[in-house]
Chains A and B, each alone.
Chain A
């Protein structure tokens, strides 16, 4: 199992912009953020890179790291791996061909859509689900934020994960095979640049759930590339590319809708299959599933973002508009494509051989209070007692997401119960704390500015 400290996160805070409002603390589905010294602090073992904090930040103080774009010029053969949702960011009057031409102009030798491999996956998925006599339901591993959520919050469900590679990995494998074998390009000259609609995919590429390395070389944030392409288009710098130049083929209907909500279960003809989007919805359902409350479901498609990948935090446009465009594109797409249209299907044997995720996904429970069970028991008891005396309003003034979270932080030696303002008032009342003491405590949590006595003067009070 990878060292838990090694989990890579694509989400980073800019403290110089942060106003310490702690909105991010409130929305986190795993309680990974608490406030200290006036700013959010991330618990790397809890964060699943879902990006809800990014969306909640009113001052854009959370950013998503990306690889240096200039590296595309370091590779002799930079190839772009584009999720089809990228196209849906652009208004209808900007045609696919224009967007592609702009991408070639920027310097990519080829553009492949990620969902090319859905035609391959399709053949396999129903078979796997029908033949499943192990854990039910099979849970999709398409969304990496969901995989991480299951690892940290629902470890009981780890054996349910579908260990077949997602489209991204399969298409990247195909690209390497195609370019080295058919075009005879040396492997080291090929750079595969994936355009990510979210933080979770970046984190999964940089630190995969298993020990298997990603075939992707570098990651580009989708909103960054969107802006770059828009600029090229607006300035008219590009030349319309020849159709023959591109290996960008028409996707089948199912491939186009794959990343939308319902896209995966749409590939299944039989069984009871559910599609759930939004990380809080997913969390609620997994909780019930773990409780044995739900039975006889065959397949679960779970996506962290509302409207699935159209709602990715790095999408440059509104998720509903993007989903609508994507559905329209589905309508215009062919029902089926064959190997002539999609030469990935000529590599079926190769992909079948490599489709399985190598290694195992390990549970790494965030709830565990201690490695030693009897110590964990003592801590749990103590946290329970503390929590019973807290107000249960989850006001977050203590810097933690909830009263329960504070009580657990206290028993783990990370916080003091005096951080609770209700406890502070009680202690002031019994003269165990002075106003100066509570001010010192609150300053430690929220910083000087929010605890400055001058506030009263500024408000003419």
Chain B
């Protein structure tokens, strides 16, 4: 069962609506609460990343009998060094942004911690595609 959602960069008032929608579907399927929670955490983080950094993006959600596969593809600045960004604490955020408590370098690590499979591809100047998979019976 497939669904696609569009996310507009900079639209913080609607950030999180896709993860909320996916949450509702997982609840209907009777997926256990801890797996619902980690999927929501990972997706919310990834969705807000698009809103905060990219120009626009599409999120496609594929529900299968044993897993949910979510692909977030954005048009945006891209991530220059994915491996580096995956390390906890590493962040490209300016001191000004960090002063406000953002850019702690927890974004990607948090997505990783809350997904069973994670694939990130990025091209600087073009955009980023994140694929995350969570299994229902873990």
A: which residues have CB within 8 A of B? 155-156, 158-159, 287, 290-293, 363, 365, 367-371, 373-374, 376-377, 380-381
Contact = CB atoms under 8 A, between A and B. Distances in A.
B40 A373 contact: no
Interface string B19-53: 11001110111110110110011001000000000
A19 B88 CA distance: 63
B27 A293 contact: no
Contact of A291 (B29, B44, B136): B44
B27 A373 contact: no
Contact of A156 (B1, B29, B36, B65): B36
A404 to B, nearest CB: 11
B16 A365 contact: no
A280 B25 CA distance: 21
Given A291-B44, A292-B40, A381-B1, A368 B27 contact: yes
A376 B33 contact: no
A412 to B, nearest CB: 11
B contacts with A: majority SS: helix
A370 B40 contact: no
Contacts of A380: 1, 25, 28-29
A365 B63 contact: no
Contact of B44 (A292, A367, A374): A292
24 contacts: A155-B27, A155-B33, A156-B40, A291-B16, A291-B40, A292-B16, A292-B40, A292-B41, A292-B44, A293-B20, A293-B44, A365-B27, A365-B30, A368-B28, A369-B28, A370-B30, A373-B29, A373-B31, A373-B65, A376-B29, A377-B1, A377-B65, A380-B1, A381-B1
Residue from A293, A369, A381 with most neighbouring chain B CB atoms (10 Å) = A293
A156 B33 contact: yes
Interface in B44-93: 44, 63, 65-66
A-B complex: 5 closest residue pairs judged by Cβ atoms: A368-B30, A367-B27, A292-B44, A155-B33, A291-B20
A139 to B, nearest CB: 14
Contacts of A369: 28-30
A293 B14 CA distance: 11
A290 B23 contact: yes
Contact of B30 (A158, A290, A376, A381): A376
A61 B44 CA distance: 45
Given A367-B24, A377-B1, 11 more contacts: A156-B33, A156-B34, A158-B33, A290-B23, A292-B44, A365-B30, A370-B30, A373-B29, A373-B30, A376-B29, A380-B25
